[in-house]
């Protein structure tokens, strides 16, 4: 007998829409059918949308920045994520320079994540590494991780990795089945701009971190990835200009792009307000024009995933640095509002499947989460149930983060996740958190090889054509 039946829902799998009953046993989907089968519990969802649980490829729970620590730990962050329809997320190991740090930092994050109520994985993170790229690739895979985060800036805090190492690591990504992910900004431009002003304020963010800086670094990454036939993933793309330039490079086989809701929904006019300090994040918010370019890239498939870069801090921590941006903890929240914000840009059924691809299917495929991001027999029973009829106003009082503000305060939206199931068990049910005793699992990810039109590098194909 099945453990659970989800009855009479409208299923959105990222490609097509259909009515079906979904049955679950032992944490896996056992049947998708118009028939009514036996189950210990039948859960009626007529009039609601049923989709694979969302996957956030970019969160920062329990992030320590010296004096400050991000407001959400793995427990509160996972609750907030679940209310946003998320059933799996990928966080980050602390930056690693030497090989002997790897096990310690991996075990540290595993310990911090043990109270998560939904499943999770990690990205390796490097900072000016002195580890041979092949050794790094092998050690990363041995932990059940297949992605390595690299910074092209932050030289002043010793997190930057130079292009020489980036070249050698990208050159082996496809051979070993790993992905090199990037925070893409031009370090020299940022250092130059920072010296032009004696004092830095939150309002200066677009000047200190210009769009051109992101475009320069992104193009460099895309060029190296194309020349080496590598697998590069650029996180939190904020610059519509950089995305347009990458499109012209025609590097889609080797480069995948992520953006975040804040870069689509918000814009840099907020830095002209008295509370500009509440919107400090890097990369910063961009112009309305650049947001429109990002939307174009989402619609034409150039941007393949949406992450949140969830990293909120308390309002008082932001406020105390409003006259000293250099001491500011950067980041805002987003796991609970990501889907609904983008859904409200176009409340259509087609938009639902587009968002399911961006926020679930494509993430699973990109990062090798083999049993996630799909509604098929045998997949993990990670399911999010969305009621399109609910109208509500986003406000910190009705979110589940430990942060004390949201950048989307007062925004009226339609649609809300009412129930969320992780591995066949309810985490959220009828708008209530019921997953207190549930614990998510660390999801191991093996080698991943992105599809290409040919196994032969592009430059050899062109020479032979």
What percent of the chain is predicted at pLDDT more than 70? 97
Crossing angle of helices 240-249 and 211-228, in 10° steps, is 20
Instruction: Give the list of residues 6+ apart from residue 432 with CB closer than 8 angstroms, or none.
Output: none
Specify which residues 412 forms β-bridges with.
393
DSSP H or E stretch at residue 21: strand 17-25
Using 50, 70 and 90 to split pLDDT, how confident is the model at 453?
low
For residue 235, is pLDDT > 90? yes
The average pLDDT across 393-404 equals 98
For residue 118, is pLDDT > 70? yes
Distance CA 100, CA 288 (A): 45
Where do the domains of the chain lie? Answer: 53-367
Instruction: Flag whether the pTM goes above 0.85.
Output: yes
Specify which residues 33 forms β-bridges with.
21
Q: What share of the chain is helix, strand, coil (3-state, %, to 5)?
A: 35, 25, 40
Instruction: Using alpha carbons, select from 371, 378, 364, 380 the residue that is nearest to residue 27.
Output: 380
By residue count, the chain amounts to 465
Residue 322 near residue 202 (C-beta atoms within 8 A)? yes
Instruction: Give the list of residues 6+ apart from residue 146 with CB closer than 8 angstroms, or none.
Output: 140, 177, 178, 179, 367, 368, 445, 446, 447, 448
Residue 156 near residue 195 (C-beta atoms within 8 A)? no
Per DSSP bridges, beta strands 86-92 and 119-125 are: parallel
The average pLDDT across 161-187 equals 98
Residue 148 near residue 169 (C-beta atoms within 8 A)? yes
Angle subtended at Cα 458 by Cα 456 and Cα 463, rounded to the nearest 5 degrees: 95
Query: Which one-letter DSSP state was computed for residue 209?
Result: S
Instruction: Using alpha carbons, select from 214, 259, 249, 253 the residue that is nearest to residue 231.
Output: 253
294 CA to centre of own chain: 16
Q: What is the pLDDT of residue 207?
A: 97
Using 50, 70 and 90 to split pLDDT, how confident is the model at 341?
very high
Specify which residues 11 forms β-bridges with.
18, 50
Instruction: Give the list of residues 6+ apart from residue 79 with CB closer than 8 angstroms, or none.
Output: 117, 400, 433, 435
Least confidently predicted of 307-311, 436-440, 455-459: 455-459
Gyration radius of the chain over CA positions: 21
Peptide bond connecting 283 to the previous residue in cis, omega within 30 degrees of 0 = yes
The average pLDDT across 393-418 equals 98
CB atoms within 10 A of CB 322: 17
349 CA to centre of own chain: 23
Distance CA 358, CA 446 (A): 21
> Residue 453 has which token pair?
């039109």
The average pLDDT across 219-242 equals 97
Residue 70 near residue 61 (C-beta atoms within 8 A)? yes
Distance CA 51, CA 353 (A): 9
Q: What is the pLDDT of residue 1?
A: 95
> Residue 162 has which token pair?
């130079």
Backbone phi, then psi, for 426, in 5-degree steps? -70, 130
For residue 456, is pLDDT > 60? no
- pLDDT, one tens digit per residue, over 266-299 is 999 999 999 999 999 999 999 999 999 999 999 9
How far is residue 416 from each of residues 39, 53, 335, 449, measured CA to CA in Å?
Answer: 26, 14, 13, 35
For residue 464, is pLDDT > 80? no
Quick check: helix, strand or coil at residue 304?
strand
- pLDDT, one tens digit per residue, over 409-447 is 999 999 999 999 999 999 999 999 999 999 999 999 999
Distance CA 364, CA 207 (A): 35
Residue 407 near residue 279 (C-beta atoms within 8 A)? yes
Q: Which fold has domain 53-367?
A: TIM Barrel (3.20.20)
Distance CA 87, CA 89 (A): 7
Give one DSSP letter per residue of 220-275, joined into a string: HHHHHHHHHT--EEE-S---HHHHHHHHHHT-TTTEEEEE-HHHHH--GGGGGSTT
For residue 186, is pLDDT > 90? yes
Residue 57 near residue 367 (C-beta atoms within 8 A)? yes
The average pLDDT across 202-230 equals 97
Least confidently predicted of 25-34, 137-146, 246-255, 353-362: 246-255
Quick check: helix, strand or coil at residue 336?
coil
Residue 106 near residue 143 (C-beta atoms within 8 A)? yes
Extended beta strands in 284-443, E state: 303-306, 383-393, 412-422, 425-429, 432-433
Distance CA 50, CA 169 (A): 40
């Amino acid at each position: 007998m099945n453990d659970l039946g989800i009855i009479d829902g409208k299923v959105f799998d990222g490609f097509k829409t259909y009515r079906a009953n979904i049955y679950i046993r032992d944490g896996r989907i056992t049947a998708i059918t118009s028939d009514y089968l036996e189950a210990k519990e039948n859960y009626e969802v007529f009039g609601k949308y049923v989709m694979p649980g969302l996957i956030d490829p970019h969160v920062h729970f329990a992030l320590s920045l010296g004096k400050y620590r991000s407001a959400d730990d793995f427990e509160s962050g996972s609750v907030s994520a679940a209310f946003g329809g998320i059933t799996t997320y990928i966080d980050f190991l602390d930056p690693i320079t030497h090989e002997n740090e790897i096990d310690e930092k991996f075990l540290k994050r595993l310990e911090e994540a043990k109270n998560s109520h939904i499943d999770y994985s990690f990205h390796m993170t490097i900072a000016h590494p002195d580890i041979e790229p092949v050794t790094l690739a092998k050690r990363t895979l041995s932990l059940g991780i297949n992605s390595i985060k690299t910074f092209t800036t932050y030289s002043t805090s010793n997190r930057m990795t130079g292009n020489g190492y980036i070249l050698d690591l990208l050159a082996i990504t496809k051979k070993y089945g790993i992905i090199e992910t990037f925070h893409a900004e031009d370090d020299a431009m940022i250092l130059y701009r920072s010296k032009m002003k004696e004092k830095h304020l939150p309002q200066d963010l677009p000047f200190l971190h210009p769009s051109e800086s992101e475009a320069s670094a992104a193009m460099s990454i895309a060029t190296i990835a194309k020349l080496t036939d590598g697998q590069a993933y650029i996180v939190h793309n904020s610059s519509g200009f950089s995305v347009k330039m990458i499109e012209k490079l025609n590097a889609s086989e080797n480069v995948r792009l992520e953006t975040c809701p804040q870069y689509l929904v918000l814009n840099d006019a907020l830095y002209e307000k008295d509370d500009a300090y509440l919107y400090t994040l890097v990369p910063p918010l961009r112009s309305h024009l650049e947001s429109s370019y990002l939307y174009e890239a989402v619609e034409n498939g150039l941007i393949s995933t949406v992450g949140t870069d969830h990293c909120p801090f308390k309002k008082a921590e932001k406020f105390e640095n409003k006259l000293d941006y250099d001491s500011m903890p950067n980041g805002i929240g987003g796991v609970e509002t990501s889907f609904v914000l983008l859904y409200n840009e176009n409340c259509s059924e087609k938009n639902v499947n587009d968002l399911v691809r961006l926020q679930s299917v494509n993430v699973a495929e990109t990062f090798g989460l083999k049993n996630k991001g799909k509604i098929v027999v045998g997949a993990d029973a990670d399911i999010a149930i969305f009621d399109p009829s609910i109208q509500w106003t986003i406000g910190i009082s009705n979110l589940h983060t430990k942060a004390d503000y949201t950048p989307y305060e007062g925004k009226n939206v339609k649609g809300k996740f009412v129930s969320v199931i992780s591995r066949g068990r309810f985490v959220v049910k009828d708008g209530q958190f019921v997953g207190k005793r549930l614990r998510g699992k660390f999801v191991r990810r093996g080698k991943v090889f992105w599809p290409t039109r040919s196994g032969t590098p592009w430059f050899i194909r062109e020479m032979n054509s």
